[in-house]
Structure 1
């Protein structure tokens, strides 16, 4: 009997989600998509979880949709792929909007929906051996997982067009240089670096970081004056909250803040 498509391990306030289909290069099938949503909801709701990390098992991060499943659907492919994409998107959206920071530790190649998952992190750490490919148009498909929304915002329209239209592989160093990922880490240091980053975030002002996440998400589609009003409301709420009061007090006392 196969195990879960994604495993959950909680350590010191950090939830580690590990894509666990190495024999299928961590590709996305219906069980994977449902599990992603269920774990995203669990992480969002559990107040003891203060940061979430997503990584892959084996040599790959995620190669995207399970093409074998697409083929098996035959004449029902439109309905089957549509249902899979909507299920996958539920998990993507929850991870993008939960009120806690999200880190991706990209341990190997990421393609298609795997690219979408990789770039979803607030902090995206790429192993030196990782590389990134759109892959969609190579098999006559179009993006899912939010790739066509994130790519222009992260790297600009021209680069997004090239990535989606040509499927040019992008190495880890180039990905960092153009802003596709945050930075590159040696393969054997990826887990430790992701843990250090996640621990620092988990020990930080998580509720303020949640407000930062919301402001950044809203900024893409909000009028500037409206956004300024939202920033004003957000910083005021943060200043009045326990984190803000502790942060100010710690600054004045020249000590490290203790965020609960």
Structure 2
């Protein structure tokens, strides 16, 4: 079904792998469309409890826009963002399931934006990030203007965006750009353990948590209190809530089914 990425499901974990290692997993219009399709498919599949997004090879998560592939039918850079990049980022942020980025190498430009759109980022010690847009005279896009200041503050966001400098894994962790940094040999096991934890979790509640936190960026306290009440009503009607309470009372481990 997919030509530019790998799509696998195993024990509730959907792994989406950008598969253009010969160009450091650069984001061509075709790959971007497939990423959006893959996340849409994962969202509709009840077997999927968590998504892992990564790049093939050991050098790059994604080097950003594939400048050799043009605008993919768009007539301008703005139209290309509206047609390709924006739907891709929204497909991740609107997915009612956790998304883990397995940051295996460099994430530059829109590739960095793609990583930042994920809910959890686990990075190899060899990974790097760069808002490289300015080096070709462009502004940051694909959501980075939204994610960066919220993660690291306006001043640091301006620094990284206006210089495009490469940030190593250790500094990424110190800044709060990633959740965890591990050795290259530990990356797979750490990602697998984290994914399995989420795959066994209360999927509906986690999806609602993601929805509520997304709203918190631009809502008042009163609005958030009401949003909590509305979504807690939804969570309280799930089978997982019943299982969670029963397991607590019976003093046994939970057996969430994600429903």
TM-score (norm 1): 0.93
Asked whether the equivalents of residues 20 and 57 of structure 1 are also in contact (C-alpha less than 8 Å), the reply is yes
Pick from 81, 85, 92: which aligns with 2:77?
A: 81
Q: CA deviation at 1:88?
A: 2.1
Question: Structure 2 residue aligned with 1:212, among 192, 204, 209?
Answer: 209
After superposition, what is the alpha-carbon deviation per residue over 1:20-46, rounded to whole angstroms, capped at 9, x for unaligned? Answer: 011111111111111111111111111
The structural deviation recorded for 1:80 is 4.7
Give the conservation status (yes or no) of the 8 Å contact 2:65–2:109: yes
Q: 1:115 aligns with which of 93, 112, 115?
A: 112
Q: How does 1:87-126 map to 2 (within 5 A)?
A: 87-126=84-123
Q: Given the two structures, how large is their TM-score scaled by the length of structure 2?
A: 0.93
Cα RMSD over matched residues?
1.7
Match for residue 35 of structure 1?
34
1:221 is aligned to: 218
Q: Distance in 2 between matches of 1:114 and 1:156?
A: 20
Structure 1 residue 239: Cα displacement: 2.4
User: Post-superposition shift, 1:214?
Assistant: 0.2
Structure 1 residue 204: Cα displacement: 0.2
Distance 2:76 2:14 in 1: 31
Aligned length: 254
- The aligned counterpart of 1:155 is 152
Deviations 1:142-175 (A, max 9, x none): 1221000001111111111111001121111111
Identify the residue that residue 53 of structure 1 maps to in structure 2.
52
Please list every run of 5 or more consecutive structure 1 residues that lacks an aligned counterpart in the other structure.
none
1:187 equivalent in alignment to 2:205: no
Q: Displacement, 1:82? A: 3.4
Question: Runs of at least 4 residues of structure 1 off by over 4 A?
Answer: none
SS at match of 1:136: helix
C-alpha contact 1:99 1:207 (8 A) present in aligned 2: yes
Q: Contact (CA 8 Å) 2:74, 2:80: kept in 1 or not? A: no
Mapped contact 1:126–1:181 kept (Cα < 8 A): yes
Matched residue, 1:230 = 227
What is the distance in 2 between the residues matched to 1:77 and 1:164?
A: 27
Contact 2:29 2:69 (C-alpha < 8 Å) held by counterparts: no
Where structure 2 has 5 or more consecutive residues not aligned to the other structure, the ranges are none
Question: Who is 2:69 aligned against?
Answer: 69
1:22 matches 2:21:
yes
Provide the secondary structure at the position in 2 that maps to 1:34. Answer: helix
CA drift of 1:77 comes to 9.9
